[in-house]
Structure 1
Amino acid sequence: MTVPLGGVTLADHAAVYAALEEAGFTDVWSSEVAGTDAFTPLTLAAAWSPRLRLGTAITPVFTRGPALLAMSAAALAEAAPGRFALGVGASSPVVVRDWNAVPFDEPFRRTRDVLRFLRAALRGDTVDGAFDTFEVRRFTLERPPTEPPPVLLAALRPGMLRLAAAEADGVILNWLAADDVPTALAEVGERRPGFEVAARIFVCPTEDAGYARALGRRLITGYLTVPAYAAFHRWLGRQDSLGEMWRAWAAGDRRGAAAAVPDEVVDALVLHGSPERCAADARRYAANGVDVPVLAVLPTPETTAGGAAAWTDLLPRLGAGAGEVA
């Protein structure tokens, strides 16, 4: 499950983590966009729920210096030994450049360099030298984790997918349909022992299809017009189905872009229906090769109106078969 849950304060998440465990969820994974940072919700989970596995999906490689990112990861690995996975990725120009005032230059090479730095630093090595995109002088973690966390790489297209396969401990997929998973994993090739595939899966557990599709269209036009995601979906074969959306967006017609997203694309990328149906549809990702399907629950009329009590009802229903859905 993606944490924190919407509408529940971090201070109240002790009960959330307990409810997730009771419902059968095995993992909690955070994100880092414009809400909480990636590490704070997981630090609370480390203290409050010592059985849950923890992961970041993802921490951007631009918005922290390499040493600070290693220190944050090492601290959480020390707090939750053997049950933390660090997911990193390039993020986007909006998050990096527009919101954090950092140039979004050479995202592939920066991601590769940070990945290589982290693998060495988290082993306790002294890192001293120049990478292609930055230089580090004699950095050594004072508290290297006894068990270095696996480092997973967010990847969309072939170059980054192949980098993950070659140098990371796993890959994190995002904004794709269950039927797209084999296309992505074909670039990964034969997996090394221990290599994990995680995927963030957007779910809107409501039987109000009109609401779910309207929300899905807004999200799709917000995300899949970002150049990296647009290129990803062209590569997946959605040039025809999303072409009108891209043309309207480029012309400045935001409303027209959202209206141009076909129902079948929304339904493939944003699972909706009853909680049980959402859980069943999410398990299709596992059937297609995803090891860690991570639900990202979108707001629904029920959770918005019902508050914490609505989550108490929802989580057990989403958790049906949650040994396969994180």
Structure 2
Amino acid sequence: MRLGLQLGYWGAAPPADAPALVAAAESAGFDGVFAAESWGSDAFTPLAWWGSATSRVRLGTSVAQLSARSPAACAMHALTLDHLSGGRHVLGLGVSGPQVVEGWYGAPFGKPLARTREYVDVVRQVLAREAPVRNDGPHYPLPATGPGALGLGKALRPITHPLRADLPIWLGAEGPRNVAQTAEIADGWIAVYFSPRAAPLYQQWLADGFARPGARRDRAGFEVAATCQVVVTDDPAAAKGQVKPSLALYIGGMGATRMNFHADLFRRMGYAAAVEEITAHFQAGRRAEAVAAVPDELVDDVAIIGDREQVRAGVRAWRRAGVDVLLVGCRDVAQLHAVADAVLGADDEPLPSK
């Protein structure tokens, strides 16, 4: 199992301890450092700023939102960061949700699968630099067409030669069709929430994508990165209590009532009744009740919490379920070292067959 430090997106201010966490992650043997964005801080700048003090770890977006920038602009960010880091960038992309896309970016959310496919194709054209970039699709036409276009656009190749044409692109995906398309067109899957118990479901979705004509990779060349709260503790009940507020927020508040991909995922895991209760409380402003409605079993499904040996056993279970990289958030350097000791020390059995 490999580890990625998930810095996430910022709250009201930049996290003061991020430089120390990034340095500790590199020295402790983490595989990568990842940053996210929502509707505040962006995903690329923290990687360039704090990543400049590193020399080994991969620097990934987990995730950069499609609607935040055009695919050509995103490719510019990616090729720039890849050059500056000496080929250590991982471009993680995701569609976000309708509330953010339409409310913050002022863009339509419709056709997320088709938009993702077009977006990735344009990014790959830029990185390949084999010909001027063109796209005839309806979402990101290049050169521009339609109302307001002057018809003077010129198809261009990037001035800067990308360091790697095969810079890895990972996609954040939750639903069956989205995960299948990820397996078809991407180099890796970022699972926002993952449960070993539901692994057969995910494996079927991935297999559907790998089986499509022209699929980019097979499972052996594909990376599965799963967000996971890993807490080494002698008080698991207290640790679960600290995880529940975030779960309640994502289940009950990170999405429209009629379209919440996180809630849909937990329904597929068998928590439909809990999802309805959490959502009802959250939408009514009863945050404490929403948190209290998150079952311990749900936390156990998507997190690894316990003493060192329990965490090591949990890591093995996630590896057997097909996870290659755990994306973990750590509140301080001491927790980071405890996680590294438990997780990286759990690799004492053969890797599962992919």
TM-score range (shorter-chain normalised) is 0.7 to 0.9
Which residue of 137, 145, 148 maps to 2:162?
A: 145
The 10-residue stretch of structure 1 (99-108 or 18-27) with the greater mean CA deviation from structure 2: 99-108
User: How big is the alpha-carbon RMSD for the aligned residues of Structure 1 and Structure 2?
Assistant: 3.0
1:133 is matched with: 139
Do the aligned partners of 1:127 and 1:136 also contact (CA within 8 Å) in 2? yes
Secondary structure of the corresponding residue to residue 176 of structure 1: coil
1:322 is matched with: 344
2:334 is matched with: 313
Deviations 1:49-81 (A, max 9, x none): 111122111111111122211100110111223
User: Quick one: which amino acid aligns to residue 168 of structure 2?
Assistant: P
Do the aligned partners of 2:226 and 2:325 also contact (CA within 8 Å) in 1? yes
Secondary structure of the corresponding residue to residue 134 of structure 2: strand
Which residue of 181, 193, 213 maps to 1:163?
A: 181
Which residue of 193, 197, 200 maps to 2:224?
A: 197
Instruction: Write the distance in 2 (CA, Å) between the matches of 1:99 and 1:208.
Output: 40
Structure 1-normalised TM-score? 0.83
User: Quick one: which amino acid aligns to residue 206 of structure 2?
Assistant: V
Using the TM superposition, give the Cα deviation of residue 159 of structure 1 relative to its aligned residue in structure 2, in angstroms. 0.6
The 10-residue stretch of structure 1 (37-46 or 247-256) with the greater mean CA deviation from structure 2: 247-256
Using the TM superposition, give the Cα deviation of residue 96 of structure 1 relative to its aligned residue in structure 2, in angstroms. 2.6
Do the aligned partners of 1:20 and 1:315 also contact (CA within 8 Å) in 2? yes
Using the TM superposition, give the Cα deviation of residue 230 of structure 1 relative to its aligned residue in structure 2, in angstroms. 1.5
Using the TM superposition, give the Cα deviation of residue 275 of structure 1 relative to its aligned residue in structure 2, in angstroms. 6.5
Using the TM superposition, give the Cα deviation of residue 14 of structure 1 relative to its aligned residue in structure 2, in angstroms. 4.7
Do the aligned partners of 1:275 and 1:314 also contact (CA within 8 Å) in 2? no
Is the alpha carbon distance of 1:255 and 1:314 closer, same or farther for their aligned partners in structure 2, counting shifts above 3 Å? closer
Using the TM superposition, give the Cα deviation of residue 249 of structure 1 relative to its aligned residue in structure 2, in angstroms. 4.3
Using the TM superposition, give the Cα deviation of residue 17 of structure 1 relative to its aligned residue in structure 2, in angstroms. 2.9
Deviations 1:225-274 (A, max 9, x none): 33111222222332244343234445665443332221211232243344
Instruction: Write the distance in 1 (CA, Å) between the matches of 2:102 and 2:238.
Output: 32
Deviations 1:184-212 (A, max 9, x none): 12211153442111111123555454543
Using the TM superposition, give the Cα deviation of residue 38 of structure 1 relative to its aligned residue in structure 2, in angstroms. 1.2
Query: How many aligned residue pairs are there?
Result: 313
Is the alpha carbon distance of 1:199 and 1:255 closer, same or farther for their aligned partners in structure 2, counting shifts above 3 Å? same
Matches within 5 A, 1:45-194: 45-124=50-129, 125-137=131-143, 138-148=155-165, 149-189=167-207, 191-194=218-221
Structure 2-normalised TM-score? 0.77
Using the TM superposition, give the Cα deviation of residue 48 of structure 1 relative to its aligned residue in structure 2, in angstroms. 1.5
Is the alpha carbon distance of 1:283 and 1:60 closer, same or farther for their aligned partners in structure 2, counting shifts above 3 Å? farther
Identity %: 32
1:221 is matched with: 248
Using the TM superposition, give the Cα deviation of residue 10 of structure 1 relative to its aligned residue in structure 2, in angstroms. 6.8
2:7 is matched with: 4
Matches within 5 A, 1:211-290: 211-225=238-252, 226=255, 227-249=260-282, 253-274=286-307, 277-278=310-311, 280-290=313-323
User: Quick one: which amino acid aligns to residue 128 of structure 1?
Assistant: R
Higher CA-based Rg:
2
User: Quick one: which amino acid aligns to residue 184 of structure 1?
Assistant: Y
Instruction: Write the distance in 2 (CA, Å) between the matches of 1:237 and 1:18.
Output: 39
Using the TM superposition, give the Cα deviation of residue 146 of structure 1 relative to its aligned residue in structure 2, in angstroms. 2.6
Secondary structure of the corresponding residue to residue 78 of structure 1: helix
Deviations 1:137-182 (A, max 9, x none): 1242221313131111111111111111111112111122232233
Instruction: Write the distance in 2 (CA, Å) between the matches of 1:127 and 1:22.
Output: 40
Do the aligned partners of 1:23 and 1:322 also contact (CA within 8 Å) in 2? no
The 10-residue stretch of structure 1 (215-224 or 114-123) with the greater mean CA deviation from structure 2: 215-224
Deviations 1:270-295 (A, max 9, x none): 43344675465344322210111111
Instruction: Write the distance in 2 (CA, Å) between the matches of 1:246 and 1:12.
Output: 33
